[in-house]
Amino acid sequence: MSSAPFRNARGTRDLLPQDLVLVRHLERVAQKVASAASYREVRTPMFEETRLFQRSLGETSDVVSKEMFSVPKRGTEGAELNLADGYTFRPENTASIARAYVQGGFAASAPLQKWFYVGPMFRYERPQKGRERQFSQFGVEAFGPQSPTLDAEVVGVALQFFHALGFDDQLQVRVNSMGDPEDRAIWSEELRKFFADQFAGESTERCPDCVVRFERNVFRLLDCKVPRCVERNEGAPDLFSVMGDDAKRHHQEFGQALRAIGFEPVEDRSIVRGLDYYSRTVFEVHYPPLGARSALCGGGRYDGLVEEMGGRPTPGVGFSIGFTPTELALKELGLPHAADLQDLEDGLMPQVYAIGIGEEDRLELFRLVTELRQAGIRCELDHRGKSPKAQFQEAAKSGARFALVLGAEEREAKQIVLKDLAAKEERKVGQDEVLTLLHQGLGE
RNA sequence: GUGGAUGUAGCUCAGUUGGUUAGAGCAUCGGUUUGUGGUACCGAAGGUCGCGGGUUCGAGCCCCGUUAUCCACCCCA
């Protein structure tokens, strides 16, 4: 047996009471902005069949090819582990939700469904600042219409989220279009033709990653940040030059819809998103003052995904926001304002601290405390047999507004001392009226 | 997966050119005469200096390995 101390698994973290103040604030803001736009919450399982992600995100995506938390199915006794046939902890939620949409029978008639989710995702990556192996995301998915205003509505919800958290109008929406599948097929051909020379022969000026990209996913060549590769991307064919009219018009109308709600989109052809399922609209929400880590939200349209999951062709659009980068950004910006968290902080503190003078008072005090708790008052008492003085110290530290003091004298008279800890005023009251008085004093 | 930095009490950190029983602040617990408070004062507890080798008369300090954490790259949220 090892004597090494137990630790949380790499890339995970414990959310202790104090940490949960912020997390719960993020969750409720998410819930608020989503439901304001009629998105309803859904929760899918934390793990799915591995093939779901392979199919939807694409075998060549980084997420699927090297970042999956997978477990084999049981019962393949003696056989070597076959991870592809097993389960995988969801690395993102869109695939699961599209699956649930189809499985729930919605794809049969493709009605408008607007859903949101908040919950943990898992990716087997090397942890670093703003990146964990288990992290929470807030996201929305809208199925049904292919309308550009729906794209803009989705973006609007994301913007609302950051707005409600205190981000100012420096928030920026960067947009691009991946076109339709036919467009991408043509584009892919054109790109291969354009880059063919660069990858012909033994040696290439491109980075090793790009060599792989050329083989497996040409589009990603355009993503490369290596300077010498960026140079060599100049003059590459533009998707927009081969894009069909419908997709083009969609993109244009998407831009108009964003302007209608007060956002001037920034066209950014480098946004391609790493997952296979995107089509037409792709976007990111940035907050430029954050510098290198300015990307807060990514999303886009996935018109082919539902069909890929076995449903009738049903367009969809959504985004996801990672809590981890959001928390980092908030910290840097000095947000949220203390007032926004006050109610959550208050919830961590008792409102009343009950003090017993002698050992004989404990049961009576415990009974009284329990009564107050049942009435919804946050009430605490000492369980360690501390001296009255020490109990007063605890009461002061606890943040309670009132103290109750019970001694032999009060017990016999069915009374109790009610003390306002801030005003340092106390008076003896009947035990039967203490609840009413506390409700009054606490303004409830 | 590649590279860099770091690892001393629960937390944040000191620890001089390697030299006797490793320190501080915060937090914890107790006390300042036992029915009244977050201050102050006194005291206690708490460390195999990440782990394993090596060099040395002697290592928290030097060397090697290992592990963990953090940071950067890749990619992403």
Residue ranges per structural domain of chain A: 17-180+243-338, 349-441
Question: Is the minimum distance from the CB of A146 to strand B below 7 Å?
Answer: no
Q: How far is the CA of A125 from the C1' of B68 (A)?
A: 16
Question: Does residue A76 surpass a pLDDT of 70?
Answer: no
CB neighbours (10 Å) of residue A308?
Answer: 17
A 228-267 residues, CB < 7 A, strand B: none
Percent with pLDDT over 90 in chain A: 61
Distance (Å, whole) CA A121 – CA A352? 39
Nucleotide nearest to A421 (CA to C1'): B37
Q: How confident is the model at residue A434 (pLDDT cuts 50, 70, 90)?
A: very high
Question: Is the minimum distance from the CB of A383 to strand B below 7 Å?
Answer: no
Question: Does residue A1 surpass a pLDDT of 50?
Answer: no
Question: Does residue A14 surpass a pLDDT of 90?
Answer: no
| Nearest residue to A442 (alpha-carbon basis) of A402, A398, A393 | A402
Question: Is the minimum distance from the CB of A79 to strand B below 7 Å?
Answer: no
Distance (Å, whole) CA A220 – CA A214? 8
Query: What average pLDDT does this structure show over A92-109?
Result: 94
Q: How far is the CA of A188 from the C1' of B6 (A)?
A: 46
For residues A64 and A54, the answer to whether their CB atoms sit within 8 Å is yes
For residues A118 and A31, the answer to whether their CB atoms sit within 8 Å is yes
Q: Residue A283's beta-bridge partner residues? A: A175, A299
Q: How far is the CA of A129 from the C1' of B63 (A)?
A: 32
Nucleotides of B under 7 A from a protein CB: 1-2, 28, 30-31, 34-38, 48, 68-77
Question: Is the minimum distance from the CB of A286 to strand B below 7 Å?
Answer: no
- pLDDT greater at residue A375 or residue A82: A375
3-state SS record for A46-107:
CEEEHHHHHHHHCCCCHHHHHCCEEECCCCCCCCCCCHHHCEEECCCCHHHHHHHHHHCCHH
Query: What average pLDDT does this structure show over A287-316?
Result: 91
- One fold for both A17-180+243-338 and A349-441? no
pLDDT score for A293: 83
pLDDT score for A208: 74
Enumerate long-range contacts of A201-205, CB under 8 Å, 24 or more apart.
Answer: A205/A232
Query: What average pLDDT does this structure show over A379-404?
Result: 91
Question: Is the minimum distance from the CB of A135 to strand B below 7 Å?
Answer: yes
Distance (Å, whole) CA A17 – CA A301? 37
A420 phi and psi angles, rounded to 5 deg: -85, 110
Q: How far is CA A138 from CA A119, A132, A315, A321, A427, in A?
A: 7, 15, 21, 5, 50
pLDDT score for A79: 54
Question: Does residue A204 surpass a pLDDT of 80?
Answer: no
Query: What average pLDDT does this structure show over A120-128?
Result: 92
Distance (Å, whole) CA A424 – CA A419? 7
CATH architecture of A349-441: 3-Layer(aba) Sandwich (3.40)
A 153-192 residues, CB < 7 A, strand B: none
Pairing of β A402-406 and β A379-381: unpaired
Residue A150 carries which side chain, given as an amino acid letter? L
Distance (Å, whole) CA A248 – CA A101? 28
| Nearest residue to A157 (alpha-carbon basis) of A283, A332, A331 | A283
Secondary structure (3-state) at A214: helix
Cα three-residue angle A141-A142-A146, rounded to 5 degrees: 135
Average pLDDT, chain A: 90
Alpha carbon of residue A184 to chain centroid: 30
Distance (Å, whole) CA A72 – CA A402? 56
pLDDT score for A374: 96
CATH architecture of A17-180+243-338: 2-Layer Sandwich (3.30)
Query: What average pLDDT does this structure show over A120-147?
Result: 93
Question: Does residue A370 surpass a pLDDT of 70?
Answer: yes
Sign of CA dihedral A209, A293, A116, A344: positive
Secondary structure (3-state) at A137: strand
Q: How far is the CA of A165 from the C1' of B13 (A)?
A: 34
- pLDDT greater at residue A335 or residue A403: A403
Distance (Å, whole) CA A338 – CA A314? 44
pLDDT score for A2: 41
ipTM: 0.83
Question: Is the minimum distance from the CB of A318 to strand B below 7 Å?
Answer: no
pLDDT score for A443: 85
Q: Count the residues in chain A.
A: 444
Query: What average pLDDT does this structure show over A103-112?
Result: 88
pLDDT score for A52: 94
**For A326-355, what is each residue's pLDDT tens digit?**
999 998 888 898 889 989 988 889 999 999
Alpha carbon of residue A312 to chain centroid: 29
pLDDT score for A392: 92
Question: Does residue A161 surpass a pLDDT of 80?
Answer: yes
Query: What average pLDDT does this structure show over A4-32?
Result: 89
Nucleotide nearest to A134 (CA to C1'): B77
